[in-house]
Amino acid sequence: MLPADTELHINLLLEGGEPFAVFIFPNESRIHILKKGDSAERFEVVPWLGTYADRISLYANLCNNRKMPVEKISTGYEDYITGVEAVIESCRKRNGKTVYSRVICDSLDREEYVDWGKTAVDLFNSYSQTFRFLYYTPETGAWLGATPELLLDFDCVSGDFSTVALAGTRLAGSLTEWDEKNICENRYVSDYILAELDQLGIKATISPMETVTYGKIEHLCARISGTAQPDDVFRILDAISPTPALCGWPKADAISDIERCERHSRGCYGGYILVTAGSRWRAYVNLRCVHFDRMSYCLFGGGGITPLSVSEEEFEETSNKTVQLASLIENNRKGKQ
């Protein structure tokens, strides 16, 4: 359990309006709280389609940079289905995959507020196997999430690294074998990562697929590891992000689908969070998240679309991925009844 004053501490940080980050590594209970000027660890954010050079730091002066407003308009059911059908056809033509997302947005009345400190603590206590985070910078705004997806764990002394191919989703507890659609989704990711590493001259090994659980859903996961040169960390991050788990394959075609069919800006969704301490660099994909300000919030949910996708099932998948965080927010919504 987290310290009793964690909720209050988070709310005070949000009210202060200065850059900060609160996070907990997977399977750990120690909470890290960083503010501008702290130097023991670095916390940086790379937005959707950004490179390492585009990273946003807690320590930079961001006053003159472009802001990320919170999206205000939810993706309607009919719009989502129409978009998925268009993406399925695109994937069918190239035998590929596109990760298509939707947003669930809400605004508050003047008498209302969300207790974000309590929401964060509830989320952090619920998903101990994930990287849990809440951060704010003037450029990004505030983001809260619990992501199951490691992008890269890298030791800059030894060069040892690991990553995962995390793709394929269903409700937890299924007694049947994974279907072809989900297995293909995962292989798109693992094949892409291995190919990109090979292009860099880096050899890696991959584990058999396994099932990992995230709340009420579960995913297929293959673990990839190897050894690179200690200064290869930047090249690896730029080569593999975004993986087909957040973008699709081939990457250029998937990005084209996303830009053509999604009506919202992804902001930091699908990018990654990088925490460095000493020689260890750990990057996690920014997903299972909500972007919020004082009067509104926006949840993001996506799914991998392939020629085998069924649009109604994809909508249900995005609902399953967002429902628990949405419920926590609603439970901590105060004021007007």
For residue range 182-222, list pLDDT tens digits in order. 999 999 999 999 999 999 999 999 999 999 999 889 999 99
Domain-embedded: residue 197: yes
CA 107-79-95 angle, 5° bins: 130
Question: What pLDDT score was predicted for residue 59?
Answer: 75
Distance, CA of 245 to CA of 91 (rounded, Å) = 15
Residue 32 CB-density burial (10 A; 0-12 exposed, 13-18 middle, 19+ buried): middle
E-state strands within the chain: 20-24, 32-35, 42-46, 56-57, 97-107, 113-114, 131-137, 141-147, 150-155, 160-171, 204-206, 210-214, 217-227, 248-249, 272-277, 280-285, 289-292, 296-305, 333-334
Residue 16 forms part of a structural domain: yes
pLDDT recorded at residue 60? 65
pLDDT in tens, 87-116: 999 999 999 999 999 999 999 999 999 999
- Cβ neighbour number for residue 5 with a 10 Å cutoff: 10
4-18: per-residue pLDDT in tens?
A: 899 999 999 999 999
8 Å CB contact between 147 and 284: yes
Whole-number pLDDT of residue 63: 47
Instruction: Name the residue range of residue 282's domain.
Output: 6-334
In percent, the amount of the chain with pLDDT more than 70 equals 98
Residue 208 lies in a domain: yes
Instruction: Give me the mean pLDDT over the 319-336 stretch.
Output: 95
In a domain, 1, yes or no: no
**Domain-located, residue 93:** yes
Q: How far apart are CA 202 and CA 160, in angstroms?
A: 11
- pLDDT (average), residues 20-26: 97
Number of domains in the chain: 1
**What's the pLDDT at 2?**
86
Q: What is the pLDDT of residue 67?
A: 86
- The first and second tokens of residue 299, run together, are 């949840």
pLDDT for the residue numbered 4: 86
Q: Let me know if residue 73 belongs to a domain.
A: yes
Average pLDDT over residues 258-282: 97
What CATH number corresponds to the domain at position 301? 3.60.120.10
